[in-house]
Structure 1
Amino acid sequence: MSNIDSTVVKSTSISNEKPIPSKKKKNALNYIKKNYILYLFLAPAVISVFIFNYVPMYGVLIAFKDYSVTKGIWASEWVGLSHFTSFLTSPNFLQIFMNTIKLSVYGLIIGFPVPVILAIMLNQVRRAGIKKNIQLIIYAPNFISTVVIAGMLFIFLSPAGPINSILSAFTDNPISFMSNPDYFRTIFISSGIWQGAGFSSIVYVAALSNTDPQLHDAATIDGASLLQRIWHIDVQTLKPVMAVLFILAIGGIMGVGFEKAYLLQTDRNLPTSEIIDTYVYKRGLLAGDWSFGAAVGLFNTIIGLILLMITNTVVKKLNGETLY
């Protein structure tokens, strides 16, 4: 009995003891106390992000209600998933969804390698003056407004535009590029690559600038060709950056780009140009169906989040790189 009592006393005394904080927690608390001024500087940014990014998220409730401006969000009638069901069962759901997926996937497959190739080509230019001029030329399109880009495309691709003037030497009938649904994806993706590929290569150029030149010198002495040096040195240097940017690109695959798609739309190319973002704008804002538009937008965001998580897991297993 005495042994049992002593055991009980020990167990109760142990249970009454306060848990000892781990070494990591102690180190973290000491670091915060030591560098509290840095956290004070960081506080305004954290507070502003919370106020402007997280607090408005309560508006997602609109997607589950029959929202009325006069009643407000909380007083509006709760309808559950009816707006999502209405969108998923609508006759044009499959067409809109596939248009969004095709524009995003084709743009990613064709456009993702272009900045990498541009960065590798720029890295091979040894004269600083020529390199700066080339960078200025390829970066410039990124600073052109989307509205201006759309206007340029309508002018260049119009039946009386310069493109059809050149094609008139081979055909008698001008091609109406902007009215033909078959040309929309090509126009949208190619113009997007032209506009953004140069600026997107900045990250890769910065990564290549940190490559040790002695690696190239050693490979040259060993008899490696230019392509071999690019593949085994430059590409390997860019792999971690490419992995992270690829994950981010997949995460934003459902956000094709509302402005450009909407500006390039015509009544005749709607079969291929109508995407989820433009559909939300027309149904949610122009038609005043706020709840339906919010539901479709939330659906779009959830799909993007799922793709981001899947891609991050796959890339982590294949390449060891991860976004979080």
Structure 2
Amino acid sequence: MVGFDIALLPVLRELAERGSVTAVAAATHRTPSAVSQQLRTLQRQAGVPLVERVGRGVRLTADGSALAGMAAGVATALASVESAWSEHLTGLGGTVDLAVFPSAAELLLPGLLTRMRAYPGIVLELSDVDVSEGEFAPLTADHDVVIGHRPDGARRADGAAVETVALIREPLDVALPLGHPLAERERVGIGDVVDETWIGVPEGYPIDRVLTALAAASDTPPSVAFRTIHLPVIENLVAAGHGIALVPRYTSGTRAAGRFRLATLADVRAGRRIEALARPDRAVRPAVRTVLEALVAEAHAVTT
């Protein structure tokens, strides 16, 4: 491979992750024609087809996918050298873009910000996101760290493209109005609650997958009166007697006293995994690694 320009590799990697020349152009602040030109140059240097036409767009060939995977390794190696040199010259610092969904922000963000006071050279830029389970990993293309969640048993993000740092396994409990017949029970079974009216999250979100699994175990479709991504709204509706809900134990537990009761599910191990996701080339940056370590420490603190 003669005259192979590794500076062109990132555009191939971006195409593999974003799926279209237009998306790559928008993310990298180039024109689509400039992206296409770089792809043609890289393909000529590689000596084999890297992309092929599909309808009005393009997709990677098998060789293109292989080279895109190698591009991630190159980016990680370069980022490691650049970050180490920068730290050598100026000390630990830089900006870290952290995307976090609301209930994880409730649980982790106050303590994280307190911990980061020990690192005045690191600036945290915070983004509020709330997406379905499969959409957290793609966000790592635009953020240094993404805090996502998935239900027990669901697969982790692809380890080759995304580094996953486990933070919390948060059990899911059943939230019951104070006057509910089951409100004095510490544990409830699937048969006790499956016919109830539920307050839920949107379909495709991790907690909804658990509710669907409960329904499948009893062969009874759940009756969901209302769906929302906002956990406090769910809690308010339960407290007002409009239904019951599956809620995360540590997060909702801080607001339950005097408003609603939490009962453990007796027949199933229901929970969600809260994780920090990062591209490997971003995770090697000392500032990003420091944030990840602070997140792990804070997750341990809030659960113990």
Which interval holds the TM-score relative to the shorter structure?
under 0.3
| Larger relative strand fraction | 2
How does the TM-score come out when normalised to structure 1?
0.23
| Larger relative helix fraction | 1
How does the TM-score come out when normalised to structure 2?
0.24
